[in-house]
Structure 1
Amino acid sequence: MPSRLNPYISFDGDARQAMEFYKKVFGGTLAMNTFGEFGGQEAGAAADKIMHSMLETDSGFTLMCADTPPGMEYKPGNNISVSLSGDDVGELRGYWDKLSADGTVAVPLEKQMWGDVFGMCTDRFGITWLVNISEPA
C-alpha cells in the first residue's frame, strides 16, 4: 500500500452518526470499530463509542475519525477544514449540497475572482468543508 495523507477527525460521541452521514454524502465502504471491541470491560461507558473508523470511497477519498477516547479532553476548534477539489461539476456540487444541508454556508458555492467555483460550509457536525470546482482541462 502506498503512503497516503488523509484527514482524521475527532468527535465528542457522535462519530458513528457523522461517518454514516459522510457515507451517504460520498458513498464507499465504511468500517467502524468500537472501544468495547478492543477495550473489553475497561471501555465502560465508551464501549459503544467509535475507537476508529475509515471511509474509503470509489473516488479515492479516505476519511478517518473516532470519538475522543475516555480520559482525553475533546477540544473542538477551527484548526481543521477538509478540502474537496476537481473539475467534476456534478460530483462536487452533489457533495456540496449534502454537506451544506443542515449546516452553515460561510461562502456560497459560486464563481470566484480566480475563475473557479468555490464555496465553504460547516456541516451539521461542526466540520468545515472547502469545495473548489475548476474548469475542465
Structure 2
Amino acid sequence: MVVLNPYLTFRDNARTALEFYRGVLGGSLDITTFGSMPEMGYDPAESELVMHAQLTTDDGMVLMASDTPRGVEYRQPQGVSVSLSGSESDRLHAVWDALSDDANVTIALAPAPWGGEFGMLVDRFGISWLVAIDN
C-alpha cells in the first residue's frame, strides 16, 4: 500500500494552523514537538514548535504539517493547492465556510461550467485550497 498525503510547512504557526484545520475538518490531531526530540539538535527556544503533526479525519483524510526551524530556509508554499472534492454537499459547504473565515477568496464557491460547484481560496495561513462539489 502506498499513501499520498499533503504535507504543509509553516514558519512558526503549524500548531495554530492544524488546530484550525481540525476545527474545520474534525478528526484527531497528533503533534510531536522539536522539544520532544532533543537529540535532533534544534535550538531549545524552538522546543514547542511542531516537528511533525498529523490530522486524521473520521472519513479518512490525512493532512500533515511541520514548522520550519529558524536555521532552515523557509518559503511560503506556492504553486500547490489542497483539494477537497466529493458529493457530500453539506459537509463541503461547511468546510468552505470555515476555511473562508479571514481568507482571500480567489474564486467564490458557485456553480461551475462543468457541473457541480467550485471555489478557490487562500486561507489565513497562506495555504491555497480548491473545493469542488459534485451535484
Relative to the length of structure 2, the TM-score reads 0.94
Secondary structure at 2:32 match in 1: strand
- Unpaired runs of 5+ in structure 2? none
Q: Comparing 3-12 with 76-85, which one deviates more in the overlay?
A: 76-85
Match of 1:82 in 2: 82
Q: Say if 1:120 and 1:38 are closer, same or farther in 2 by CA, change over 3 A.
A: same
TM-aligned CA deviation for residue 72 of structure 1: 1.0
Q: Comparing 48-57 with 68-77, which one deviates more in the overlay?
A: 68-77
State how far apart, in whole Å, the 2-side matches of 1:8 and 1:27 are. Answer: 18
| 1:15-68 Cα distance to aligned partner (Å, 9 max, x none) | 000000000000101000100100259332211100000000011100000001
Q: Tell whether the 8 Å contact from 2:104 to 2:121 is kept in structure 1 after alignment.
A: yes
What is the RMSD computed on CA atoms of the aligned residues? 1.3
Matches within 5 A, 1:1-137: 2-39=1-38, 42-43=41-42, 44-135=44-135
- Unpaired runs of 5+ in structure 1? none
| 1:86-128 Cα distance to aligned partner (Å, 9 max, x none) | 0010000000000011111000000011112000011100001
Counterpart amino acid of residue 130 in structure 1:
L
State how far apart, in whole Å, the 2-side matches of 1:7 and 1:41 are. Answer: 24
What percent of counterpart residues are identical?
Answer: 46
Provide the aligned length of Structure 1 versus Structure 2: 134
Relative to the length of structure 1, the TM-score reads 0.93
